[in-house]
Structure 1
């Protein structure tokens, strides 16, 4: 964090984490980045210990997150009825949105044989079932199995995953997207709904909000300001194509026309999706696979109080400064 965006009345620190934290299980946290699915489930069950802010540090369309074998006859969601589908986590926000897409395609989810496991052998997965009762057609994969291996072997019809297996990006990949034109499907979804599915949001512990009721509003304003700052930096640093540069000409072949129109930001000015500039020691969700930097915000009110942390999509680590009269950060 460059320090240009202030949160009046509070000292804010940002640090990096590889995995989204469980806010409620860590006494040193004021709040943090939280799965929207887990937040909604807890709230529906009467657990209101977290207060959600209407700001998302991770969003994304899910039409691209269903993979099948390259030789599969399946091409649409409605063809997944009674299928064998493995996924990387049952309560995960992304997979919840993807199951909603399948259901919207007219498929009865109770007729699908679901298994939960890791995308690749040795990765996390089976512990991401749920701490709540599961449908009877959901089970865990056997130890040592993985989604990619099972799909490649033809023992599955499809897999749901936020991140593509490495093989997917190779010319000889045995996998492809279920939808032939998922970008068109995502544009249609946007036109019909008007939103991009939210995956992670920012939450605060309710007991912190009760002590500092002004914190949600000023923190939200700070997050929105950081987004505007990032957009401004992006426009400044991005390559802007000249009018007509995307039109191939005899002197400019199609390949160079595509390259000339690509928006690129490189080097130390590369931007994270949070609106804050990135630095090397910045972690990402799931060990960097998500491409969305995750950080921790530590707040100190002007009147003092212990140093605590609030995860937020991170661009750059903060300067270790504090409001005059406030105590130093605690680790």
Structure 2
């Protein structure tokens, strides 16, 4: 069994990062072109932050930040980070509706989540199926966030429940602000034809649910009251794992939330850099896979961790978190379609216009 020093060296005890806890951290590594990269420190980026993997040809300063703040810095701020993690749908709205072209996307998908798990209901509301949400009040902290756009699209396509059939209530506080940062402007867009109102000031979206102001909640974060076992709240899909796996088997879609982006002027001036960034993030992810296979069973408290990893690979393949365009085009085009169908993006976007052109040909090397 690995000792504590081995686990520490692997980076498994450094995942509770300042960004997750509300702080910020930065460090530089390597020699070459000075660039700043902003992202979360996660298992798939840990090797970049601790220096086991570097972006070749660069002197990189890694800055930990929260997604709402990274969105705002890129779309509305100075955009000083040459490379940054961004919310996929906020980027889409900035690109389609605001003419934003400062950054182009790279096919590095840093956060993905199936979203059936993200729907919570009051147990006394009589909501047992997605169709029961018609005419109900649903709370959310940000209508046009990536996660909410996915949920609405899935509910319309899979269950026939259209966004305009729901009364939306926007909370003026977000219970996940500590992890996600302040909600960006692009996450607060509301299309025409939607019934929407503001919740009671001072209450976050989970408190609206507890107070009975809403019947259900769509939110990427799990409500604190649910985590604490409050009997008034349940998931709409109690066995969400089976529902999400069935969805993947039928559609091949693994929803993307966050993506990596690079400044277009930087990529133009240093044409070798985008590929170097892609390769480094890919190597860091494969380092995370190695740790999952060899050490995470010891560092993680889940008793059947290894079985879950094996089950995931049996369904989704060895590289179940793929980068590159080939395995992800369908998922991207699904969200592009959802956004336009929901009246959010002014047109249906394409991967060719949103991703850096040369990056469409990037493939991962797992060796």
- TM class by shorter chain equals 0.5 to 0.7
Q: CA deviation at 1:113?
A: 1.1
Q: Secondary structure at the match of 2:297?
A: coil
After superposition, the Cα gap between the structure-2 partners of 1:98 and 1:190, relative to the gap in structure 1 and judged at 3 Å, is same
CA distance in 2, matches of 1:6, 1:126: 31
Deviation string 1:112-143 (CA, Å, 9 cap, x unpaired) is 11121134599888876756553342333242
Q: What's the secondary structure of 2:197's corresponding residue? A: strand
- 2:103 and 2:264 in contact (8 A); partners too: yes
Partner residue of 1:85 out of 128, 135, 138:
138
Q: 1:14 aligns with which of 34, 59, 62?
A: 62
Q: Which deviates more from structure 2 when the two are superposed, residues 51-60 or residues 101-110? A: 101-110
1-structure distance, mates of 2:303, 2:291: 20
Deviations 1:222-250 (A, max 9, x none): 1001111111122221338xxxxxxxxxx
Shift in alpha-carbon separation, 1:259–1:225, aligned structure 2, 3 A: closer
- CA 1:154–1:259 in structure 2 vs 1: closer, same or farther (change >3 Å)? closer
What is the 5 A alignment of 1:295-314? none
Is 2:103 the partner of 1:50? yes
Structure of higher CA gyration radius? 1
Separation in structure 1 between the aligned mates of residue 183 and residue 284 of structure 2, nearest angstrom: 36
Q: Unmatched 5+ residue regions in structure 1? A: 241-257, 265-273, 275-331
The alignment partner of 1:239 has SS state of helix
Matched, 1:75 2:128: yes
Distance in 1 between residues matched to 2:137 and 2:250, nearest whole Å? 29
> Match for residue 23 of structure 1?
74
Q: Which has the higher helix share?
A: 2
Shift of 1:81: 1.4
2:329 aligned residue: none
**Could you say which residue in structure 1 is the equivalent of 2:53?**
5
Q: 1:223 to 1:103 in 2, by over 3 A?
A: same
In the alignment, structure 1 residue 261 sits paired with structure 2 residue 304: yes
User: Aligned residue pairs: how many?
Assistant: 248
| Counterpart residue number, 2:91 | 39
Q: Which runs of 5+ in 2 are unaligned?
A: 1-48, 308-320, 322-367
Give the TM-score taking structure 1 as reference length.
0.67
